[in-house]
Amino acid sequence: KAGVTQTPRYLIKTRGQQVTLSCSPISGHRSVSWYQQTPGQGLQFLFEYFSETQRNKGNFPGRFSGRQFSNSRSEMNVSTLELGDSALYLCASSHKPEGGLDYGYTFGSGTRLTVV
Amino acid sequence: TQLLEQSPQFLSIQEGENLTVYCNSSSVFSSLQWYRQEPGEGPVLLVTVVTGGEVKKLKRLTFQFGDARKDSSLHITAAQPGDTGLYLCAGLLGKSTFGDGTTLTVKP
C-alpha cells in the first residue's frame, strides 16, 4: 500500500511569507502528527490530529497551525515565516492516537523548508 | 528539559564491530519505539517494546526495555555500512516524545 505522502519535498520561502504543507496518510490511518526536525533541536512535536480533531499540541507559537480533512489528509500552515523556521517538517500517520502501543508511526519523507 | 536522553550522540565505528546505544529517562513510558532515519528521509520504525524487561531481536539488532520501563538499549552486532543512520528512540507518554538521536557511521 502507498506510504505517507508529503508535498512539496522542497520549498524556499522568504521571511514574512506564509506556507502550507500537505500530508496524505496511509489509507485507513486516522491519526496524523506533525514534527519539526532541525540539527540543533531534534524532532519537535507540533500537533496531532485524529478524526479531524486536534488532540495534542506542542510548544510552538500560534503562527503554526494545522487541520485535518474528512479523508484524513492533513495540512499545516506557517504564517509570517522566520529564518528559524527553516527545517525538515515530517508528517507521521498511525492507526491510533499517539501512535498506539504496537503500531508506531509511519513517517513521510518530509518537506525541506528553507526560509531566506 | 529533554524527556529522553540518548547516548552517545555520535558514534563512528569500523564494519564488523559491535555497538550499543542508550535511551534513558526519569519518566515511565507505556511503550518505547526505536526508529532509524537516513539522510533526506523520514524515520522508519524498527521495533516497539511494551513490557518491562522485554528483549526483542531483529536480525543483528537487539532491543531491550528496562525493567522499570524508563530506559532502553539497542545493540548492533557486527555492524555493516548499511546500518549507518540516525537512531531515534520515542516514548509514549500522552504523546510520543523523541530523543535527540544517535548518529551512527559504520566505515567499510
A108 close to B (CB below 8 A): yes
Which of the residue ranges A14-28, A32-46, B13-27 would you say has the lowest mean pLDDT?
A: A32-46
pLDDT of residue A91: 96
B40 contacts A43? CB cut-off 8 A: no
Say how far apart CA B96 and CA A72 lie, in whole Å: 19
Nearest C-alpha in A relative to B36: A107
Is a pLDDT exceeding 70 seen at residue A98?
no
B86 close to A (CB below 8 A): no
Size of interface A-B (CB pairs under 8 A): 61
Average pLDDT of chain A is 91
How crowded is residue B47: how many other Cβ atoms within 10 Å of its Cβ?
19
Of the candidates A43, A45, A101, the beta carbon closest to that of B50 is on A101
Of the candidates B40, B41, B96, the beta carbon closest to that of A105 is on B96
pLDDT confidence band for A102 (50 / 70 / 90): low
pLDDT digits (tens, 9 = 90+) for A49-92: 998 999 889 999 999 999 999 999 999 999 999 999 999 999 99
pLDDT of residue A97: 65
pLDDT of residue A100: 54
Is a pLDDT exceeding 90 seen at residue A94?
no
Instruction: Give A85 or A43, the one with higher predicted confidence.
Output: A85
Of the candidates B40, B48, B95, the beta carbon closest to that of A48 is on B95
DSSP notation for B28-82: --S-EEEEEE-TTS--EEEEEE-STT-EEEETTEEEEE-TTSSEEEEEESS--GG
Instruction: Give A94 or A62, the one with higher predicted confidence.
Output: A62
Instruction: Give A2 or B49, the one with higher predicted confidence.
Output: B49
